[in-house]
Amino acid sequence: MRPLTGILLSLALLLAGCRRSSGPDRTIVYNCAASTADMAALRPAQEQFFARTGIRVKLNPFSGEEKLYAMIAAGQAPDVFYTNSAVRDRLAAEGRLLDLRPWLETDPLWRRLRPEVRAAAASADGGVYSLSNWSQTCGVYYNRALFAAAGIPAPTADWTWADLRAAAKALTKVGGPGGRTERYGIFIPAHFIEALEQMNHAPLEKDALFLTIPPEAREVYAEYLGLIRAGAMPDVRRVQALGMQAAQMLESGRVAMLVEAVPHAGLAETLTIDWAVAPLPRFGGKEPRYFRSASGGLSISAATKNPADARRTLTWLIGEAAPYQPNPVLADVPFVAAWEEKYPRLRGRGFREVWELSERHPGGDPRYFVRFASWAMGPVMSRFQPWLDRLWSGDATLDQVVAAVPGVNAGVRQDLERQLRSQSLRPAWKAALEHELSAAPK
Amino acid sequence: MKAEHRQGWLFVSPWVIGFLLLTAGPMLYSLYLSFTAASLLSPPEWVGLENYRRLASDPLFYRSLGNTAVYALMGVPAGLLLSLGLALLLNAPVRGQGFFRTLFFLPSVTNTVALSLLWLWLLNPEFGLLNAGLRGCGLAGPLWLQSEAWAKPALVLMSLWTAGGQAVIFLAALQGVPRELTEAAAIDGAGPVRRFFTITLPMISPALLFNLIMGLVGALQVFTSAFVMTGGVQPGSEGGPNQATLFIVLYLYKKAFQEFEMGYASALAWVLFALITACTALAFRLARERVHYESATP
C-alpha cells in the first residue's frame, strides 16, 4: 500500500469514528442548585437513572440567578432548572418556560403531589410552568435545658403569643460586661414575620399586585418590635448581618428560641444542645394557620430539544432521585416516618407534631416574594423594604410605615403600567395583568 | 499606505480586532439599547428618549447618584492621603523596606470578593474584630453595614485596605524626585514640611493626578464590595439599609439582571459614562496649572 493511501484510509476511519451517533442526543442539562455534597450524592442516582432510561443528566452547578437569566436570554438555557415564584411568571409570559399542564394531565406525578403543591403550581394564565421540588413549614426551635432550668413548661400545640413573649422575657439574661445581654429569649428572622401575620389571620391575598398592611399584620409588627424593645430579642439589624447564622445563636446559647424552617436537615445534624421544636404560637383564640411553603420549583426550558426526556428527568428529580427522597411534596409518601428514619436525631423532638399540625392547618406561603404577583414583587419590595429598614432602625414609626403604603402603591402602579406596554408579553398574560390592574382600586 | 504602516496595523490588529468586537461593539450596542425598551428576555423595542426621561424622574436614580457621589467624596481623598502617606513611609531608608512594600501592596492584588467576605466578618456588629476593639476601648461600635449612616463609611474603610496599589505609583514618583533639589532646599534652610510642599509634591503631581483620576473612576464604578456586602438576600434589600449603598452600578445591575430592564440599565450606564468623562475632564482642567511635568520645563 502506498503511504498516501494508508494516510487517507486512516483519516477516513478516524472521521468515521468521530462521527456523531445517529441516535438522538438524550442528554438533559439540569441546573442544579445544590451544595457540593448534595451534588456528589446525586451522581450515583444519576448513573442508575441513565442505566434505566438512557437519559444522561448533566449536572450544571447553579451559579446565580442572573447567570441563569443570561443563559436563557442567549438561548443556552439548561433543559431543567429551578425558578422561584418571583420570576416564574415573568419567564413564562415571555415564552421561556414550557407549559407542563398538557403532560401533567395524564402523568401520575400530578396526582402524587400534595394539594398545596398543585395549587402553588398554577399560573395566572392557567398554565403550569414549574413544580415544587420541596415543601416546608416553620417552627420554634428551643433549648430544652434552658426551659427546664428556668422552670418554664415546654411549648405545646396550644401555646400562644403571650406564652412565647413571657418565655422570651424570662429566658433573657442580662449581666455581661457593661450591662450587655448574655442571652436573648428568642430570635425571629424578619422574613418569618409574614408567617406570624398569617397566624394572626391577616388577610393575605395571593398574587397581589399591591401592598397592604391590614390591622392584623400591624399588630404582628408591633409585637415583633415589642420583643426587641423589651430586650428579649436582639436588634434584627445586628443579626441579619452575614456571618452570624441564626442556628449558631441557638447552638452557642446566645438565644433560647429560634424560628426556623421545618424540616431543616442542617439544624438537625449540627445542633449539639438539647433541643426540640414547637409549632408557631397561636394568636389569642384564633385557629392556627401554619406556614406551608411550596414556593419555587423546577421548570423546563421552552427551548429544550427533547421535551419528553426533560419531563422524565423532572419526574425523576421530584419523585425518585434518592438524595431528594423522602420528598414532602408527595402525598403518597409517609414523609414524617421516612424523614425520621433518615435523621434519627429528630425523634422525640417535636418534629412530627409540628409537621402534622401544619398539614392539618395549612395556611399556605405568606412570604412577600411569594404572595405578590411576579410583576409586582420587585416594584413593591424595592419601595417597601427601605421603609422596613427605617422601622428597624427606629427612624420611622409603624404609623408612618402604614401611611407610606399609598405612595408605595402609586409607584407600583406606574411600574406595572409600563410593563403592560411591553410588546413581548404573550396575550394571555397581558390580558390577565390588564384585568387585575383595572380591578385594583386606584 | 506605506509598508511600515501596514506592518504596524498588522501587529496591532489582534488588539484592534479584540477592542472593536469585545469593547467598542458592545458599547455601541448598549447605546442603541438605551433608546429601546429591551428586556433581557425579549427583542428591543424602540422608545426614543423614554429611558432618559424616566431617569430624570426616578428617585432611586438620584438616590444612587447621591450615594455614589458621597462615596467618591469620602473615598478618593482618603485613599490619596493614605497611599501618599504609605509611599512616604515606604520611601524612607529603613531595614526590611522590600518586605513592607510587599506587605502593603498585597491587599491590592487580592480578589475583591475575598476581601469583601473578610470585611463582612471584620465589620460584623456583634462579633467583628473592629467592634471588639472598640468595646475594648470602652466604646460602643456602630452597626456598620447594617446602619444607614455607617454603611458607606464602612465600604470606604474597606477600600482603604487596597491603598497599596496607589502607594506603589506614588513610591515610583517619589523615587524620581531629584535628590539634589531637596538637598539644596535643605541647605537653604527649608524644613521637611516646606520641602515636601514646595519640592516633593509638585514633582510628584503627575502621579497625584493619575491616582486622582483612577481613584475617581474606580469610586464612581464601585460595585463588587457593595454587591457582596450589601447585595441583600431578600428582594428589595439590595443596597444596604434604606438603600444607603445603592450605588449607580449596583442599581444598573439590579435593573438589568434582576428586573430584566436592559434598555433602562443601558441608559444608566451611558449617564454614568458621561459623568465619569465630565469628572475626568474637570480634573484635567483643574490640574492644568497645578501639575508639573518635568519634560515641559525649559
Based on the domain organization, do A130 and A97 belong to the same domain?
yes
Distance from CA of B44 to the nearest CA of A (A): 9
Q: Are residues A298 and A178 in the same domain?
A: no
Q: Across all residues in chain B, what is the average pLDDT?
A: 91
Tens digits of residue pLDDT in A59-112: 988 877 888 888 888 888 999 999 887 788 888 988 899 999 999 988 999 999
Claim to verify: residue A418 and residue A391 sit in the same structural domain: yes
Q: Does B44 touch chain A (CB under 8 A)?
A: no
Indicate if A214 and A151 belong to the same structural domain.
yes
Which residues are CB-contacts of A204 (< 8 A; sequence separation ≥ 6)?
A194, A197, A198, A217, A366, A371
Residue numbers in chain B where pLDDT is lower than 70? 1, 232-236, 294-298
CB distance B209 to B296 below 8 Å: no
Per-residue model confidence (pLDDT) at position A18: 53
Tell me the C-alpha distance between B219 and A32, whole Å.
Answer: 36
In a domain, A359, yes or no: no
- DSSP type of residue B200: I
* A182 and A266 fall within a common domain: yes
Residue A337 vs residue A236, higher pLDDT: A337
Q: Tens of pLDDT along B156-175?
A: 999 999 999 999 999 999 99
**Nearest residue, CB atoms, A389 vs list B124, B229, B241:** B241
- Domain spans of chain B, in order of start: 38-296
In this prediction the pTM is 0.86
- What's the rounded Cα separation, in Å, for the pair A310 and A131? 13
**Residue B62 contacts A where some CB pair is shorter than 8 Å:** no
Q: Residue B60: its chain A contacts at CB < 8 A?
A: 382
DSSP 8-state code for residue A142: E
Cell representation of residue A348: 422525640
Work out how many CB contacts closer than 8 A connect A with B: 106
The complex's ipTM works out to 0.81
Asked if residue A151 and residue A266 are part of one domain, the reply reads yes
Question: Among candidates A127, A146, A129, which has minimal Cα distance to A86?
Answer: A129
Instruction: Confirm whether A205 is domain-assigned.
Output: yes
A256 within 8 A of A94, measured Cβ to Cβ = no
Here the CATH number for the domain that contains residue A80 is 3.40.190.10
Query: How many helices (H) and strands (E) would you count in chain A?
Result: 22, 9
pLDDT at A362: 92
Note the pLDDT tens digit of each residue in B40-77.
777 888 999 999 999 999 999 999 999 999 999 999 99
Class at the top of the CATH hierarchy for domain B38-296 = mainly alpha
Interface test with A, best of B29, B33, B42 (most A CBs within 10 A): B42
* Helix H or strand E encompassing A101: helix A101-104
In single-letter form, the type of residue at position A199 comes to M
Q: Which residues of B touch A389 (CB under 8 A)?
A: 148, 237, 241-243
Judge if A238 and A156 occupy the same domain: yes
Q: Do both A93 and A183 map to the same domain?
A: no
Closest to A422 (Cα-Cα) out of A411, A410, A412, A430: A430
For residue B24, what is its C-alpha cell? 467598542
- Domain holding A413, by residue range, is 373-439
Which residues are CB-neighbours of A4 under 8 A, at least 6 positions away? none
In a shared domain, residues A413 and A390:
yes
- pLDDT category of residue A125 using cuts at 50, 70 and 90: confident
Cell output for A155: 411549648
Give B36's DSSP letter: B
Q: Are residues A320 and A192 in the same domain?
A: no
Subunit contact A240:B146, Cβ cutoff 8 A: yes
Instruction: State whether residue B46 sits within 8 Å of chain A by CB.
Output: no
* pLDDT tens per residue, range B170-192: 999 999 999 999 999 999 999 99
Confirm or reject contact between B236 and chain A (CB < 8 A): yes
A127 & A173 share domain: no
Chain-centre distance for alpha carbon A199: 19
Q: Is A35 on the interface with B (CB under 8 A)?
A: no
Cell of A235: 436588634
pLDDT in the model for residue B298: 42
Q: Give the count of domains, chain A.
A: 3
- On whether both A127 and A220 belong to a single domain, the answer is no
Confidence of residue A346 (pLDDT cuts 50, 70, 90): very high
Instruction: Provide the terminal-to-terminal Cα distance of chain A, rounded to the nearest Å.
Output: 89
Q: For residues A85 and A370, is the Cβ–Cβ distance under 8 A?
A: yes
Is residue A106 a part of any domain in this protein? yes
Given this model, what pLDDT does residue A17 score?
53
Q: In terms of DSSP H, where are the helices of A368-404?
A: 368-371, 374-393, 398-403
CB B91 within 8 A of CB B175: yes
pLDDT at A242: 45
